[in-house]
Each structure stands twice: as C-alpha cells, then as structure tokens.
Amino acid sequence: MQFDGDLVEIRFGAGLSPLQPRPASAEQMLTRLQGADEMAQRFPVSSLEDAAAGVREFRRLSKDRKRQEGQRGYEAADKAFKSYRRAHNLARFGWHGQRLLRHVHARDGFRERLALFWADHFTAQGKSPAMRVLAAPYAESVIRPHVAGRFEDMLIAAATSPLMLHYLDQNRSAGPGSRVAKRRKRLSGLNENLAREVLELHTLGAGGPYSQADVRQLAELFTGLTVSREAAFIYRPGMAEPGAETVLGESYGGGKAELEQVLSALRDLARHPATAQHIAWKLAVHFTSDTPEPALISHLSARYQESGGALLPVYAALLEHPAAWETDLRNVKPPFDFVASACRALAVPEARIAALRPGQINRLLLAPLTPMGQRWEFSGGPDGWPEEDGTWITPQALAARLRWAMAVPRRLAQPLPDPRVFASAALGRFANERVQFAAGAAETQAEAVGLILSSPAFQRR
C-alpha cells in the first residue's frame, strides 16, 4: 500500500486545506489521535454537565412563569423566561461555529471524522424545548473523550447519559415489580425503547443474534437507569425490577439492584462477536463505500475481537488495509461534512466566524443543511443519518448544495481565492481537467468557487 497524503486527508480526514500539511503516515495519524484533543481545547463547546445547568435554569424560569400566570409578577417572569430561552437556543449556533472551526484548523482531521461517526452511531436528541440544544454538549462529553479509547466505555457513557436516557424514554421506565410500581405511582412501568436500540443499533446490529425475549429482559435490567431532577444521570434501585435477568443466555443481577449489573451486561454486549462484525461493517461503509469489501469487514472485525474492543487497533487495521486505499473517490460527503470541508478548503478565518452573530451562523452554515437533507442534530431516528450516496444526491438536495456553494463562500472568505489556485487547494491531485476548465471558464469568481465545490470530485471522498 502506498500512503497517499491527498487521499488520506479527503477520505479519512476533514478534507484538504491550504493551511495544513497532509499527514505523513498512518502512524502519525494514530499518534495524533492518542495525543491531546487540540481542537476541543482551542474551540470549546459546553460540556454536558454545564449545559445541564442551563436546562435546569430553563425549567426553573418556565415553572416560575407558569406560577405567576394571572398574577402581578407574570410580565417580569415571562420576560425573564423568554430572554433565557433565546440565549439557551442561540448557544447551539455558537457551538456549531466552533465545531466547524475544528474542521478548518484540525491537524488530525481523522479525529473530527471519528467524533462525527460515533456521535451518529450513538445518536441522541432532546425532545423537549429545554433539552433540544444538548446534542453538541453530548457529543463533547460522552463521545469525544472515547473516540480513541474502548468501545465499551463509549457505549456505557452513551447508555447512561441523561440525553440518551431521555431520548429513548428510559428515564421513566420502571420494573413492574419495583418498589416504585408497588407504590402505584402514575406512569411506573417498563419501556423497552433503549434496550431495543442498544441491541439493534449500538451493539449487535439489526440482524444480530437476539430475540424479543432478550429485548424484554434487557429492558428489565435497564430499569433504574434514569435522570435526576437536576438533569444528571442517576441509578435508582427503587425503579429496578427485582430478580435476575437473562440476556443472550447470560444472567445478570438477582440480589440487590445495582448499577454494576447493568454495566456488566453492556460490557458483554460490547465484546460480543456480532458487535465486532456490526462495528466493522459500519466503519467500512462510512470510510470506504456503500458496498464495502467483505475482506475489509472481516479484517476490522477480527482486529476488534483481538483488541477486546479497543478502537485504536481497529483504526490501524482500517488504515493498513488495501481496500481502504482504492483511488477512485466513492462515498458522497453528507451535508455537514460537505460544508465543513468547504470551509476548510476556503481556510475560513477564525475571526470571520467569531464576527458572525448567532443568527448569521444559522443562516449561512446551519439552516442550509436542512434542504440538503440533513436537519443537523435532528436525524429522523436513533439510527442516525443514512450512508447511501443516493439518499444525499437527490435533485432537491443537490440543488441546495449548489445554492450554498455559489452564494455562501464569498461571505466567509474575503477576498475569495483565485479559482485556479483554489481548485488545487481544495482537490489536490483530484483537481481533474474538468474542474480546472470550469474554474477558468466561469463568469465570476464566486461561480468558479461554487462550481469547484459542486464538482463530484469535491463532493465524494
């Protein structure tokens, strides 16, 4: 295998940048991945814990406003709530700008890609106005610290995070025989949503070796995982179903209800061979093509099993396999990656993003993702975004990409680069003859830049 700096930055990284040298070797990429998360330090995003404090304040002010209804203090309470709600929602735009800047400036673009990949694998979304902004803080605290670690640690972090528990309705699930249920509280019963998605999406995969009985048993085992009034994770033994549960033939608990039993089941699921296969397949699809080579999948799966789910060796297996180095560009970049890699190619200055008001960030960089088919942080379901190229390049979504590429770059990079220079900055050795021709034949500089970004050579990786 010939290490190819242009290809590696496009396929495994955040795209080519005029500011950053290409990685020199796979070893260098893996070493950087083990080092400090430079971009998270330079462009911070709130932690889940800090953001949860915001959720509490949101709820407090909302409750206060309700209490004041019809009374003299209502106007002030209403004003306080609305101004807080505005700031709360606008924070999301600021975090979006920070995450884009990470893509622009990253030396280890592979980390940015992996952070996106795993946040999508463990999709979690807020379903109430107070919780709706938490997706970025969730990715920051739950996903990012584990991308170069062990899969089981990431699984446990996700399955016990307040956002996931809220998203998949686990927070209210109580065992029918639990103490809480015996007190006949309203809404005290089992909900199997999280258990099902952990098996189907997060670990074994939809075709995996589990049955409805396993779903049910895991749901019973999960009872007690919930969210405190302070919007933090808490294990409440009083909600846990008494007795042992059997998941995939393995028995858990039986004595006093304890969190450790749940974690132990999650670890076993993480180490299951079907999980290795499922994760290997997902990585191969994401980084190579919609129909990855079976040899690559088995190579990754074998490494996953050898490493006990340690992820760095799996990434090393990916970077060493010839199937990952096919030189034709295949996968279509999803909308976020398209916009982020365009910003990277344009070398959008930090000061430019900093100068944008939150509403402008939304208008230029976030809202346009929706007509491209990706309402960012609100995928249609817990399975996250699709990988198939055809789902992204529909007439309406391609039109949205072209509209963005023609209109927005001039607002982000002033002056726009010379199109011929930009073609090779953005595409390196993939700037083919058609791209170079279009760069020179367009009527305006903005159209030329837009056309370069619209070329299949830029939109595929």
Partner 1 sequence: MQLTRRSLLTRSALLGCSLAASPLVTPVSFAAAPWDTRLVVIILRGGMDALDVVQPYGDPEFAGLRQSLSGGPAAGAGDLDGFYALHPALAPLQPLWRQGELGFVQAVSTPYRDRRSHFDGQDLLEAGTAGLGEASGGWLNRLLQQMPGVEARTAFAIGQERMLLLEGAAPVSQWAPGAGLAMSPQAERLAGLLMEEDPLFHNALNEALELTRQDMSLGGLDGAEDDAGAGMMDLMKAPKGGAHTGIAAYAADQLRGDTRVAAFSINGWDTHFRQASGLKAALGRLAETILELRQGVGPDIWGRTAVAAVTEFGRTARENGTGGTDHGTGGAMLLAGGAIRGGRVLGRWPGLAEADLYDRRDLKPTGDVRSYLAWLLHGVSGAGTAALQANVFPGLDMGGDPGLLL
Which residues from 138-167 bind partner 1, rule CB under 8 A? none
Q: Give 311 or 412: the residue with its C-beta nearer to partner 1.
A: 412
Query: What is the smallest separation between the CB atom of 184 and partner 1, expressed in angstroms?
Result: 12
Decide: is 211 part of the binding site for partner 1 (CB under 8 A): yes
Query: What is the smallest separation between the CB atom of 306 and partner 1, expressed in angstroms?
Result: 29
Which 3 state secondary structure label does DSSP give 14?
Answer: coil
Decide: is 437 part of the binding site for partner 1 (CB under 8 A): yes
Decide: is 248 part of the binding site for partner 1 (CB under 8 A): no
Which residues from 440-459 bind partner 1, rule CB under 8 A? 441-443, 446-447, 450-451, 454-456, 459
DSSP string, 48-108: HHHHHHHHHHHHHHHHHHHHTTTSTTHHHHHHHHHHHHHHHHHHHHHHHHHHHHHHHH-S-
Long-range CB pairs of 312-317, under 8 A, 24+ apart, other chains included: 312/30, 312/33, 312/34, 312/148, 314/279, 314/280, 314/283, 315/30, 315/33, 315/110, 315/114, 315/148, 316/26, 316/30
Q: Give 59 or 460: the residue with its C-beta nearer to partner 1.
A: 460
Decide: is 351 part of the binding site for partner 1 (CB under 8 A): no
Phi and psi dihedrals of 311, rounded to 5? -85, -30
Decide: is 172 part of the binding site for partner 1 (CB under 8 A): yes
Decide: is 434 part of the binding site for partner 1 (CB under 8 A): yes
**What separation in angstroms does the CA of 128 have from each of 89, 125, 134?**
12, 9, 10
Contact range with partner 1 by CB under 8 A, out of 53-61, 278-286, 341-349, 401-409: 401-409
**CA–CA distance, 357 with 365 (Å, rounded to integer):** 12
Decide: is 400 part of the binding site for partner 1 (CB under 8 A): yes
Decide: is 332 part of the binding site for partner 1 (CB under 8 A): yes
Query: What is the smallest separation between the CB atom of 193 and partner 1, expressed in angstroms?
Result: 5
Considering only 44, 176, 254, 359, the residue that binds partner 1 (CB under 8 A) is 176
Query: What is the smallest separation between the CB atom of 48 and partner 1, expressed in angstroms?
Result: 21
Considering only 252, 404, 422, 430, the residue that binds partner 1 (CB under 8 A) is 404
What's the one-letter identity of residue 81?
Answer: F
Decide: is 129 part of the binding site for partner 1 (CB under 8 A): no
User: Do residues 136 and 45 make contact, with C-beta atoms less than 8 angstroms apart?
Assistant: yes
Query: What is the smallest separation between the CB atom of 32 and partner 1, expressed in angstroms?
Result: 33
**What separation in angstroms does the CA of 21 have from each of 97, 105, 416, 425?**
23, 11, 21, 11
Copy the structure tokens of residue 57. Answer: 């304040």
- Residues forming a β-bridge with 310: 150
**CA–CA distance, 337 with 108 (Å, rounded to integer):** 15
Place of tokens 């956002």: 163
The alpha-carbon radius of gyration of the chain (Å, integer) is 24
Contact range with partner 1 by CB under 8 A, out of 31-39, 72-80, 245-253, 437-445: 437-445
Residues that bind partner 1 (CB under 8 A): 168-169, 172-174, 176, 181, 187-193, 196, 200, 206, 211-212, 215, 332, 363, 367-368, 370-371, 373, 375, 380-381, 383, 386, 388-391, 393-400, 402-404, 406-408, 410, 433-435, 437-438, 441-443, 446-447, 450-451, 454-456, 459-460
